[in-house]
Amino acid sequence: MAFKSGHGKNKRFLRNRWIEFAVPRRKICLSQMIRLSVVHMPGYSYIGFLLVALALASCQTVSKEQRKNTSRTFNTVVVDAGHGGKDSGAYRRSGPPEKIATLDVATRLSQKLRESQFKVVMTRTNDTFIPLDTRVDIENATPKSVFVSIHFNDSRRRGIKGFETYYHSPYAAELAQRVQDKLCTISGSVNRGVHTANFRVIRKATYPAILVECGYLSNRAEGYEARSKEYRDRLADKIAEAIVEERFGAGVYRAASTGSVGSPAPNPSPAPPGEGPGSVPQSSRNN
Ligand code: ZN
């Protein structure tokens, strides 16, 4: 989910008390915010300075030189279950909150990727709040990786449904398209497209990073499906297939596990030091 969630806080559009002070009841983007702080409030130089500093800090993006294209060489996947803990994400009375659904899909995805011989780092393995910058730190501290963030969507318009995949770096465009294409092979699915976005976890990523919206919890049909563990397993399977094909080519993926989360993998192998569950630095929850 975008606007109510953590990553939504840093979308192109911000709305807070400072902005309402400048332009009441209006959503503005960061570049406008800088302009407003200078043009509309010449007497409030201190406030203007703060706004510019805030905007610049929020705009911080990995430069082209810092970006690494590991889309053909990665051996590790950082799997990010959106939200967690105090941040529930999208919430509907009829089903579990987004943070529970994302964790389940992420856990299933991780298991399938390990079965496909990838190393996996999960940003969270339980219902814990992990700040966005901590998630970014984890992904950027994981060399030879790609990053996949799992979310579900939400809308006041109940009729909206479908999959969306986001990326920021051009190096992640192909992976995003591949994931979207695979998800859209699920019968009855709606393709809402692949888009660029400024979500913090993909904007600040050194390695190719994507964010997948696995359907709308606010839609009756997709919300119902998201409550099914078989359906969540299918979502994880499609994403895993796309990741494997991005690295090794079409036709390589073998769906090995359709079991429930927590059941042992056929050939469990211990995660290398510093990887797998428990690698989240718990001490840096400072968002
Ligand atoms: Zn979300």
Using the predicted structure, report yes or no on whether residue 263 has a pLDDT greater than 70.
no
pLDDT at position 127 is 98
Using the predicted structure, report yes or no on whether residue 61 has a pLDDT greater than 70.
yes
**Could you tell me whether strands 163-167 and 76-81 are parallel, antiparallel, or unpaired per DSSP bridges?**
unpaired
* Tens-digit pLDDT profile for residues 27-52: 333 333 333 333 344 444 544 444 44
Helix (H) or strand (E) holding 214, with range, is strand 209-216
- The rounded Å distance from CA 83 to ligand 1 centre is 6
- The rounded Å distance from CA 102 to ligand 1 centre is 8
Give the Cα separation of 159 and 176 in Å (integer).
25
Q: Regarding predicted confidence, which is higher, 11 or 67?
A: 67
**Residue position matching structure tokens 């969540």:** 232
- The rounded Å distance from CA 2 to ligand 1 centre is 6
**Among 109, 51, 82, CA closest to 202:** 82
Q: Regarding predicted confidence, which is higher, 92 or 128?
A: 128
- The rounded Å distance from CA 152 to ligand 1 centre is 5
pLDDT at position 65 is 77
Query: If you average pLDDT over every residue of the chain, what do you get?
Result: 77
- The rounded Å distance from CA 250 to ligand 1 centre is 29
- The rounded Å distance from CA 63 to ligand 1 centre is 26
pLDDT at position 286 is 30
266-276 mean pLDDT: 36
Tokens linked to 246 = 């991005």
Give the Cα separation of 237 and 256 in Å (integer).
9
- The rounded Å distance from CA 196 to ligand 1 centre is 16
Ion ligand 1 nearby residues (CB, 5 A): 1, 5, 82, 89, 151
Residue-range domains of the chain with CATH: 2-58 (no CATH), 76-284 (3.40.630.40)
Q: Are 109 and 236 in contact (CB under 8 A)?
A: yes
pLDDT at position 275 is 37
- The rounded Å distance from CA 166 to ligand 1 centre is 12
Place 257 in a pLDDT band, splitting at 50, 70 and 90. Answer: low
Using the predicted structure, report yes or no on whether residue 214 has a pLDDT greater than 50.
yes
**Could you tell me whether strands 145-153 and 209-216 are parallel, antiparallel, or unpaired per DSSP bridges?**
parallel
What separation in angstroms does the CA of 247 have from each of 87, 134, 167, 235, 239?
A: 33, 26, 17, 19, 13
Q: What is the percent of the chain with per-residue pLDDT over 90, rounded to a whole number?
A: 62
**Among 15, 54, 7, 50, CA closest to 205:** 7
